[in-house]
């Protein structure tokens, strides 16, 4: 396979900001040949700006009937499962945006179908392709801070994505599309905490709605208990005026933090000040997807890993309703 032929299903903000530019940087190994969006103007813009030779299709069915090897699905959350199943049925490898599905049954069906068809199912859990976060994970694996005792993660913004990140994309704050802060941000941060701290035992969460007109949580505070004894606190908000993004991981031998000093990863050992730690460039999600399709490497974020991230979201949502700790069904 000389060039992997890719179709983009959904041409909104994440495609414009991430997927399209990333594939444009891989001209020797891939080619975006097809585009589809329910808003034709969105597809036309990407064709005009980045992929002039790509064909704009009038339906998903038409795109999947074209000569493709794989697709990237970047749509409202509620469409992830049906579109993935449709693409797998058409023998296309799939890179699916997070969350991979809206419940665990859907995720299991997607994983099983990809396995049955021997196709790549990769989930775009973007922190797992981020140099700072990958460096933190590597440092923990290397024992730099000993065993993790406690972690704290704050991610907050002044507005919800439909007003900030992607103006007008109201599906982010609508229950019928399975939007909300949990599926948007907890899917990243809880996944990362689990990646660093091991298997989760339970989650206790307080979820609230503070933005008038929203029908999905826009503020979340969750306590995650891990099997070997570590705990983590996850604090998320779309209503903090000055925003904020901080990560602290405390171990038996030291501490790692991110977000306090020009976005640098910092390490502190007992009786020493924090020092900046260098990070290095790593392959992005799109390059890893192409490598997996070509058989050069196994995808670093499989459907199973995406399911883990979703399991945290499901537990956080459920605990917010029951008011009790809920198990994480990993």
What confidence tier does 203 reach under pLDDT thresholds 50, 70, 90?
Answer: very high
**What is the pTM for the complete model shown?**
0.96
Is 330 in contact with 199 (CB distance < 8 Å)? yes
Give the pLDDT confidence score for residue 2 in this predicted structure. 85
- Residues facing residue 4 across a β-bridge: 30
In terms of DSSP bridges, do strands 70-73 and 93-97 run parallel, antiparallel, or are they unpaired?
A: parallel
CA atoms within 13 A on the CB side of 210: 15
Quote helix, strand, coil % in the chain, to nearest 5: 35, 25, 40
- In the chain, what are the domains? 4-125+284-297 (3.40.50.720), 128-283+310-327 (3.30.360.10)
Question: Which pLDDT score, from 0 to 100, does residue 213 have?
Answer: 87
Structure confidence by residue, pLDDT tens digits, 238-276: 999 999 999 999 999 999 999 999 889 999 999 889 999
Average pLDDT of the chain to the nearest whole number: 97
Question: Radius of gyration (Cα) for the chain, nearest Å?
Answer: 20
pLDDT of residue 3: 95
User: pLDDT per residue over 189-199, tens digit each?
Assistant: 999 999 999 99
How does pLDDT run across 50-83, given as a tens digit for each residue? 999 999 999 999 999 999 999 999 999 999 999 9
CA angle 98, 137, 144 (to 5 degrees): 165
Q: Which pLDDT belongs to residue 263?
A: 87
What is the model's pLDDT at position 272?
85
Task: Work out the average pLDDT over 154-179.
Answer: 94
First to last CA, the chain: 35
Q: What is the pLDDT of residues 127-138, one digit of tens each?
A: 999 999 999 999
Percent of the chain with pLDDT over 70: 100
Return the pLDDT at 276. Answer: 96
pLDDT value of position 145: 98
Looking at residue 311, its pLDDT comes to 98
Confidence bin at 172 (pLDDT 50/70/90):
very high
> Minimum mean pLDDT among 38-42, 65-69, 178-182, 211-215: which range?
211-215
């Amino acid at each position: 396979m000389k060039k992997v032929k890719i179709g983009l299903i959904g041409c909104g903000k994440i495609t414009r900001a991430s997927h399209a530019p990333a594939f444009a940087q891989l001209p020797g190994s891939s080619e975006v040949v097809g585009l589809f969006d329910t808003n034709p103007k969105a597809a036309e813009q990407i064709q005009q700006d980045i992929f002039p030779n790509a064909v704009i299709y009038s339906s998903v069915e038409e795109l999947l009937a074209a000569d493709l090897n794989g697709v990237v699905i970047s749509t409202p959350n509620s469409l992830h499962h049906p579109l993935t199943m449709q693409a797998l049925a058409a023998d296309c490898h799939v890179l699916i945006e997070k969350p991979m599905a809206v419940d665990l049954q859907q995720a299991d069906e997607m994983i099983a179908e990809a396995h049955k068809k021997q196709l790549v199912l990769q989930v775009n859990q973007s922190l797992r392709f981020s140099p700072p976060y990958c460096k933190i994970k590597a440092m923990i694996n290397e024992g730099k801070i000993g065993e993790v005792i406690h972690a704290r993660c704050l991610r907050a913004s002044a507005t919800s994505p439909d007003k900030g990140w992607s103006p007008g994309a109201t599906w982010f704050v609508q229950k019928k599309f399975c939007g909300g802060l949990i599926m948007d941000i907890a899917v990243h941060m809880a996944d990362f905490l689990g990646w660093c701290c091991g298997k989760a035992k339970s989650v206790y969460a307080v979820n609230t709605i503070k933005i008038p007109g929203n029908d999905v949580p826009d503020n979340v505070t969750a306590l995650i208990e891990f099997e070997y004894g570590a705990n983590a606190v996850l604090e998320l908000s779309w209503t903090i005026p000055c925003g904020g993004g901080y990560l602290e991981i405390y171990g038996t031998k030291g501490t790692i933090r991110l977000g306090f000093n020009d976005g640098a990863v910092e390490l502190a050992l007992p009786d020493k000040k924090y020092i900046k730690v260098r990070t290095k460039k790593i392959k992005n999600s799109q390059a890893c997807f192409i490598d997996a399709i070509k058989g050069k490497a196994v995808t670093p974020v499989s459907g199973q890993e995406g399911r883990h991230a979703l399991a945290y979201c499901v537990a956080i949502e459920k605990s917010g309703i029951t008011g009790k700790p809920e198990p994480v069904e990993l």
